Amino acid sequence: MFSWFANPHRFLMLSSWLAPLFYAAAALLIAWGFWQGLWMVPKDDYQGGDIMRVMFIHVPAAWLAMASYLGMAVMSFVWFIWRHEVADIAAKAIAPLGATWTALCLVTGAIWGKPTWGTWWQWDDARMMSVLFMFFLFLGYMALRAAMDTRQKAARAGAILAMVGALNVPLIKFSVDLFTSLHQDASVITAEGPKMAAVYLWPLLISSLGHSLLFAALVMTLMRAEIWTRRAAQIRARLMTGD
């Protein structure tokens, strides 16, 4: 299956109609999720009143922070084993977007945290800490790729680091959980996740789907740009050497 997608030409064909479709669907879903989240659902005073509405960005961002790192690691693995160029282009495209959504997750978390926990940053919250380290992993990945002098080296170095990072994520998560479990009393947040009322669940799911489609569409756009950039560079190199 990977080999089928690994053809840059086929990817360009496929993404030329899939990306616009995703953009349109994402716009509709995110708009509906916003409208529901900001106006339709009742506020929950236990979660900080109106401020809890930030969760309609925060939760999709948290989901995408995790999913995008996983996606980047899988693409790196595929590239490392099969050397399909499109997999590397995908990993490269995911990194800045993943970092953006991870940062969005951290910022909305802080905004939500201030009124509910009384602090912008809660060192005792395992999720915030894990997401923060994920953000650093993204930054390191991008910095490493940027420091390499050819795209082939950037691909190899990036793949090694993404895989090492992916192997470490469970350990980081476990250690952070252990660290924060010491300080449970300080943590105010108790109700979330499964206990969530159904009235919030649907807008959240729709909103998350919308963010995911937007993310995928942006990845495709960046990948298309990268493929064209590489082709342009090839043509320029060929012109310069007169080959």
Partner 1 sequence: MSAGSLLSAADIGMIRGERLLFRGVSLSLAPGEAIVLRGPNGAGKTTLLRILAGLTQAETGMIDRNVPHHWVAHRDGLKPHETPREHLTLWARAWGQPQTEIEPLLDKMGLSRPSDVPAKHLSAGQRRRTALARLHLENRPVWLLDEPLTALDADGKALLLDMISAHRTQGGGLIAALHGDPEFEIDMQVDI
Partner 2 sequence: MSPAPILSAFQQALGEAWAGGAGALLPVGFFAGAAVLVPLGVGTDPETLRAIGPGILWVSLALSSLVTLERIFQADAEDGSLDLWLQTSAPAASIAAAKTFAHWLTAGLPLALLSPLLLLMFQAQIGGALVENMLYYAIGGLAFYFWGGVGAALAATVRRGGLLISLIALPLYVPTAIFGALAMGDGPSSAAAPLFLAASTLFALAVAPFAMGAALRLAAD
Cβ burial, residue 119 (10 Å; 0-12/13-18/19+): middle
Q: How far apart, in whole angstroms, are the C-alpha atoms of residue 61 and residue 126?
A: 16
123 binds partner 2 (CB under 8 A): no
Binding site for partner 1 (CB under 8 A): 149-152, 230, 233-234, 236-238, 241, 243
Instruction: Tell me if 116 sits within 8 A of 50, measured CB to CB.
Output: no
Q: How far apart, in whole angstroms, are the C-alpha atoms of residue 30 and residue 23?
A: 10
- x/- binding map, residues 128-157, to partner 2, per CB under 8 A? -----xx-xx-xx--xx--xxx---x--xx
Among 174, 186, 197, 199, binds partner 2 (CB under 8 A): 174
Torsion angles phi and psi, residue 44, rounded to 5? -115, 110
186 binds, among partner 2, partner 1, none (CB under 5 to 8 A by kind): none
107 binds, among partner 2, partner 1, none (CB under 5 to 8 A by kind): none
103 binds partner 2 (CB under 8 A): no
Q: How far apart, in whole angstroms, are the C-alpha atoms of residue 204 and residue 194?
A: 13
For helices 85-117 and 55-82, what crossing angle results, to 10°?
Answer: 150
Comparison of 44 and 85: residue with beta carbon closer to partner 1: 85
- Which residues sit at the interface with partner 2, rule CB under 8 A? 133-134, 136-137, 139-140, 143-144, 147-149, 153, 156-157, 160-161, 163-165, 167-168, 171-172, 174-176, 178-179, 181-182
